[in-house]
Amino acid sequence: MSKETLTLTYQTRLSIDAEANRALKASATLLSMVERHLFAEVMKGAATASLKKSFLKRFDITARHFNACRVQIEGKMASRKQLDALRVESLKTTTEKLGKRLSSKKLRNKTKAWNQKRRLNRLRGKLARLEEDIKTEHVRLCFGSVKLFRSQFTGELSHAEWKQKWEDSRSQEFFLLGSKDETAGNQSCTAVIAPDHSLTLRLRLPGGINQGKYLEIKEIRFAYGHEVIVAALQENLLRKELSKAKDPSFKDHGQAITYRFFHDKKGWRVFVSTTLPEPHWITNPQLGRVGIDINADHLAVVETDRFGNPIYRESIPCMLYGKTQKESEAIIGDACAKAVEIANRTKKPLVVEKLDFSRKKRDLKESSAAYCRMLSSFAYSKIIQTLRSRAYRLAVMLHSVNPAFTSLIGRIKFAARYGLTTHMAAALCIARRHLGLSESLPAASSVPDDRGGHIAFSVPARNQEKHEWQFLQKVKKKLQATLAECFRAKNCRSSDPPNEGFCDVFSNLAGETPARESLATLLG
């Protein structure tokens, strides 16, 4: 198995004097300027390797400062390219659906039809520009945000006020890249552990700011992750000692520590990122699996033995609709903690689905309001990220499987057999899929209808020469049709009371009349 790692980031607010504030501000201004000039040169076709020597001399910075700026620019450009590709897919879908709507002549209002045509032409123009940028590998970046740049034309601020705000936005942070083979994991910012276990940062300032060569910031503590950062620094000290002793095992030690300094309305904050090595896993794959089916309002957790039989089930609430970001993070954290605790207690690996909701969220405008609310509040990526982080820290292995037809197989094959809900059955199917067990469907079964009842459902005949997923797709269509017919039949059942004339005939028969008397006896 390949070596797995996890990068963690922690933050704290700095308490510094006016002189240190000026030094950090000057560093951010200079290094941000280096990033912008570097991006401009790259867009002209220059290679970053050929620019390094000239930039070191021009801005009086170190090689590590240049590498940090280069990594920043490469990351922003890669992110922009990926975003442009997603926007192209979204615009293609939107323009196609809007074009079909206009061609179908469903919009009888001429004003609405005219506005929709203008919108369609505008979207097609955006799509053409994006496709041209992708074809020519042209990247558009605005340092300082497009929203703030356009605010100069609204008249809300004077030009002097806007310009000051614009410059502050473009120079509010700087990045210092780390490496595990450098002192304390970072040459540009060296952290030292004080006797009281606080940290002292020693920054190497760029020479172009005329603020001295180094800046020290003392008594730094992190509310969360302080012990992780201290452990990373101690690992780097061990690497240094082994290197001096010419021990060949020193190459296996050391951790890179990366720093990002960010200035907001309250002052400066520092973000520290370090990569943890692979832990000693406590889970044993031979014991079984713990499958998790992630839903919009809960996590369905099922524990299996090594044969794939369910031996424990639990539904963990995770309702995020109507919650703020902080509340959602707290709810997700509690739910993931309970799920990981089950795997930690049983010493079994976790298994989740590998889902992608990007396409569904792009098509929200064409969906119902209830579906849009559900999908928009469904923080799948955050749940997976929290599960992965917590499982890694507890040395619990987390695996992902293909989500294709897990809900369908679970509903048909396992729900009635083990008395599980459809979501619990899907979680069981997820765990069994990672175990590599059979997923063949029975010929006929009683399938839950999600309303407390069951329907009789027979699986269609399978063509052995075709792929199994084509067979499952046919099963899915037939099941959907059967469920729709069942719901339609239930909704069409008459619940109206008998008419008044019919009731008047029996108005004098109340009291001692037996409930099972025949109609002839009653009328005789």
- pLDDT for the residue numbered 369: 65
Please give the Cα distance from 373 to 388 (Å, whole number): 26
- pLDDT for the residue numbered 473: 80
Which residues does the chain have with pLDDT short of 70?
A: 1-4, 105-107, 357-378, 444-445, 450, 463-465, 467, 490-524
Please give the Cα distance from 121 to 99 (Å, whole number): 10
- pLDDT for the residue numbered 387: 93
Closest CA to 257 of 175, 172, 198: 175
Please give the Cα distance from 430 to 33 (Å, whole number): 50
- pLDDT for the residue numbered 447: 78
- pLDDT for the residue numbered 394: 92
Please give the Cα distance from 132 to 126 (Å, whole number): 10
Burial class (CB in 10 A: 0-12, 13-18, 19+), 6: middle
In the chain, ranges of CATH 3.30.420.10 domains:
285-439
Residues in the chain, total = 524
Backbone phi and psi for residue 200, each to the nearest 5 degrees, phi listed first:
-120, 120
Question: Half-sphere exposure (CA, 13 Å, Cβ side) for 7?
Answer: 8
- pLDDT for the residue numbered 4: 67
- pLDDT for the residue numbered 97: 86
Element (DSSP H or E) covering residue 398: strand 398-401
Please give the Cα distance from 92 to 86 (Å, whole number): 10
> 365: which DSSP letter?
G
- pLDDT for the residue numbered 295: 87
Burial class (CB in 10 A: 0-12, 13-18, 19+), 262: middle
- pLDDT for the residue numbered 2: 40
Please give the Cα distance from 47 to 38 (Å, whole number): 10
- pLDDT for the residue numbered 365: 58
Q: Is 229:142 a contact under the CB 8 Å cutoff?
A: no
Could you give the angle at the alpha carbon of 27 between the alpha carbons of 25 and 28, nearest 5°?
Answer: 65
Q: Does domain 285-439 bear CATH number 3.30.70.890?
A: no
Please give the Cα distance from 32 to 69 (Å, whole number): 8
Please give the Cα distance from 316 to 297 (Å, whole number): 9
In angstroms, the Cα distances linking 304 to 350, 395, 396, 429 are: 11, 19, 16, 10
